[in-house]
Amino acid sequence: MATIYRYWLKEFARFFCIIQMVLLCIFLAVDYLSNMDKFLEANFSIVQAFGYVLLKVPFMFVQFTPAGVVLATIVVFGLMNRNNELLALKGSGVSIYCLVKPVALVGILLAVLMLFLGETIVPSTMFKANHIKYSTLKKSKKIFAVREDIWMRGDNKIIHINFFNPKDDTITGITVTSLQENFRIGRRVDAEKGVFDNGQWQLLNVLEQNYSEDGRESDINSYDDKRYVLNIVPADLKNVVKKSDQMSILELRDYIEKVKSEGYDATRYIVDFWAKMAFPVICLVMALAGTAAGMLPAVKENMPLGIAVGIGAAFCYWVIHGFCVSLGYGGMLPPILSAWAANLIFICSTILFLVAVGD
């Protein structure tokens, strides 16, 4: 059996590497060409442009790994099926279920690799890539984010936002400081919450302090709600806020605790936390799905059919996973269930499929 396992692992590694290289090369070419006009506008050299694109490679490697696993598994088992190697194993009294062992081993190893990359390399490279994208290529407003705190400067104003909730596009803990020509404070506005409506921010529970030219406080006014033009829209805030894919699991956990301790809604980040834990398991799911698809009798004469079945299974997984995660964001499913539901459904389904094919 050790010889059979080595043979299968060797074939899998060969096809997996080929598929990953093809997918990554296609991505590099498409991403570079699609951003070429932005590179020219920003006066990027070829080295700088390729450096920006290469920063995304670790993230895309992780994203392409499930597709590479399912396709490589289907090809290996499909070729074994076509060459009657599976039939020979059965005739020798070797159960084809024995081949599930190396498949499971590969799925687990790649899941660990994805988890390692997601915890170490991917967060830092994606943070750098997004910083280049929004600060240089898109020339966004001068907005800076440190954890949940957001700072913006421009038009003689300094704006501080304690927390931005992308779920409903609201801001909390707003301070707007307007400067006079002599750089003294002209006005300071503090608000508990802000809602974006018709191009303006409607601030709630507002305290407005106006200062004279010598910097001395002149009057203080309070409002239940008041509209202000802040020259910033929710899309700008979504671009600058550090996203879950830019944080490791430990960073995201600490971020969740801080958001919750300050009384803000952390549901979205809790779902992302469990999704980060659940996502690498997709390698095991796709490996089992590819095994079942490659063993189909029809694949012996029609390899594209097996590939189509595998791609269809992967597509269904992403649809169900995305749907369940959306339910988690909306609070209709517990965060842990919304993140793991697709894995549980597909592991059970692929095992039943594999049993049916193997009999």
Instruction: Report residue 217's pLDDT band, with 50, 70 and 90 as the boundaries.
Output: low
Residue 223 pLDDT > 60: yes
Residue labelled with tokens 């269809």: 312
Distance CA 37, CA 139 (A): 14
Structural domain boundaries enclosing 275: 2-133+261-358
Quick one: average pLDDT of 277-285?
89
Percent of the chain at pLDDT above 70? 89
Within a domain: 214:
yes
Helix, strand, coil percentages in the chain from 3-state DSSP, rounded to 5 = 65, 20, 20
Residue 215 pLDDT > 60: no
> What's the pLDDT tens digit per position in 225-234?
888 777 777 7
Distance CA 94, CA 225 (A): 75
The pLDDT assigned to 19 comes to: 92
Say if residue 158 is in the same domain as residue 116. no
Say if residue 183 is in the same domain as residue 227. yes
- Structural domain total, the chain: 2
pTM above 0.75, yes or no: no
Within a domain: 253:
no
Say if residue 212 is in the same domain as residue 348. no
Residues forming a β-bridge with 175: 160, 190
Say if residue 291 is in the same domain as residue 346. yes
Say if residue 124 is in the same domain as residue 162. no
Say if residue 311 is in the same domain as residue 210. no
The pLDDT assigned to 358 comes to: 58
Say if residue 232 is in the same domain as residue 289. no
Within a domain: 181:
yes
For residue 271, give both structure tokens.
Answer: 């779902």
Instruction: Report residue 239's pLDDT band, with 50, 70 and 90 as the boundaries.
Output: low
Higher model confidence: residue 97 or residue 48?
A: 48
Say if residue 309 is in the same domain as residue 216. no
- What's the DSSP call for residue 299? G
Distance CA 182, CA 188 (A): 16
Domain boundary among 205, 240, 275: 240
Say if residue 268 is in the same domain as residue 334. yes
Residue 214 pLDDT > 70: no
Residue 183 pLDDT > 80: no
> What's the pLDDT tens digit per position in 111-152?
999 989 888 888 888 878 877 776 666 655 555 555 457 777
Amino acid at 36: M
Say if residue 129 is in the same domain as residue 265. yes
Q: What is the DSSP string of 102-132?
A: HHHHHHHHHHHHHHHHHHTHHHHHHHHHHHH
> What's the pLDDT tens digit per position in 6-47?
888 999 999 999 999 999 999 988 988 888 888 888 788 888
Domain boundary among 240, 273, 289: 240
Quick one: average pLDDT of 160-185?
79
Pairing status of strand 149-154 against strand 200-211? unpaired
The pLDDT assigned to 155 comes to: 67
Domain boundary among 180, 211, 240: 240
